[in-house]
Structure 1
Amino acid sequence: MSTIPEPAAVLFDRDDTLIENVPYNGDPDAVVPMPTAASALERLRGLGVKVGVVTNQSGIARGLLSREQVDAVNRRVEELLGPFDTWQVCPHGPADACACRKPSPGLIESAAAELGVDVERVAMVGDIGIDVEAAEAAGARGVLVPTPVTLPEEVAAAREVAGSVAEAVALLFPGGEAR
């Protein structure tokens, strides 16, 4: 039996974790859920676990997207995958040196605070190294779900790796019940 406590909240990266990545997507009609995302979220909600999204959206800072377009895409994600308890969006670019852009811990810390959950009881599921790095920087648990764009060194560096979003949830909740 694992000695790691099951999380009270699970946060997800948006692009290439919950939905297929469309670079700088401002079109809600282009939103396509990743396989197993809906079933994984349904399981978490059934267990009473809080769920949220933490996403870098540098297209806003780059002038490629408006915040309204990002919000419209996020609403479509909710239409397809159900409601989230928190949305944390970093609108900054890589050169902005903000505290929220992953791999900085700001988005995860803000989500935990909004959800009323100690960050140590938060898990972060994402597809690239910065997702796991942000979790570790915040003191949360990180699970990597590699895609073809995930670098081999990111997989090697991750403490926990799963083959899909559903497998990540099964790793976080091996007994099937939230504590």
Structure 2
Amino acid sequence: MSRPALFLDRDGVLNVDHGYVSRPADFEPVDGIFDALRPAVEHGVALIVVTNQSGIGRGYFSQQQYDALENHIAGLFASNGCPLTATYHCPHLPDAGCSCRKPKPGMILRAASEYDIDLDRSAMVGDKTSDIDAARNAGITRTERIDSASASPDALARAVAWIIEAEQ
């Protein structure tokens, strides 16, 4: 049976955006992030990260460094009661013409297919127009754009509430 998902951008949503974050030591979770996401997990909502990571394509860090960081992030979220269902990333440069780089919906559609996600019951939280456009291009109508400068979990809490209320 399909389930809803909360699609999340990474930098500026889950963590304070310090530029091209590539090392576990540089990953700083947004204050209150785990408390904001935990109710989604408790209600069976998938937490799926979709993130553009052109730092790989630009040579700022390697795929191996990215993978090590993502393993750290997955462990951190799991140990705080918020296991991530999946993380998808686009390593390409903005002009690469790939189907995965947001605002294209490739990562979201792939996740929906691989995890039996009902996009009509899902939501997206991002800090850039490309995040919101990717969600809309995939058919997700519930979106929340946040200001990454303030890095507040309030938008996440609202998105979680939308999904939970719709399920009841």
What TM-score, normalized to structure 2? 0.86
Task: Give the structure 2 partner of residue 45 of structure 1.
Answer: 41
Distance across 1 between alignment mates of 2:33 and 2:41: 12
Distance across 1 between alignment mates of 2:147 and 2:163: 16
Aligned-residue offset at 1:55: 0.3
Aligned-residue offset at 1:163: 4.3
Task: Give the structure 2 partner of residue 66 of structure 1.
Answer: 62
20-29 or 102-111, which moves further after superposition? 20-29
Query: Is the 8 Å Cα contact of residues 33 and 81 (structure 1) preserved in structure 2?
Result: no
Aligned-residue offset at 1:32: 1.0
Distance across 1 between alignment mates of 2:8 and 2:102: 12
Distance across 2 between alignment mates of 1:178 and 1:48: 10
Task: Give the structure 1 partner of residue 157 of structure 2.
Answer: 166
Write 1 or 2 for the structure with the bigger share of helix: 2
Q: Which runs of 5+ in 1 are unaligned?
A: 1-6, 150-161
Code of the aligned partner of 1:63: G
Aligned-residue offset at 1:46: 0.4
Distance across 2 between alignment mates of 1:41 and 1:122: 14
Q: Which runs of 5+ in 2 are unaligned?
A: none
Query: Is the 8 Å Cα contact of residues 10 and 124 (structure 1) preserved in structure 2?
Result: yes
Aligned-residue offset at 1:129: 1.0
Tell me the C-alpha RMSD between the 2 structures: 2.1
Q: Matched residue pairs, number?
A: 160
1:98-133 Cα deviation digits (max 9, x unpaired): 110001111111111111123333311111111111
Task: Give the structure 2 partner of residue 76 of structure 1.
Answer: 72
Query: Is the 8 Å Cα contact of residues 13 and 127 (structure 1) preserved in structure 2?
Result: yes
Task: Give the structure 2 partner of residue 98 of structure 1.
Answer: 98
Task: Give the structure 2 partner of residue 114 of structure 1.
Answer: 114
Moved over 4 A (4+): none
Kindly indicate whether residue 22 of structure 2 is the aligned counterpart of residue 21 of structure 1: no
Percent identity over paired residues: 37
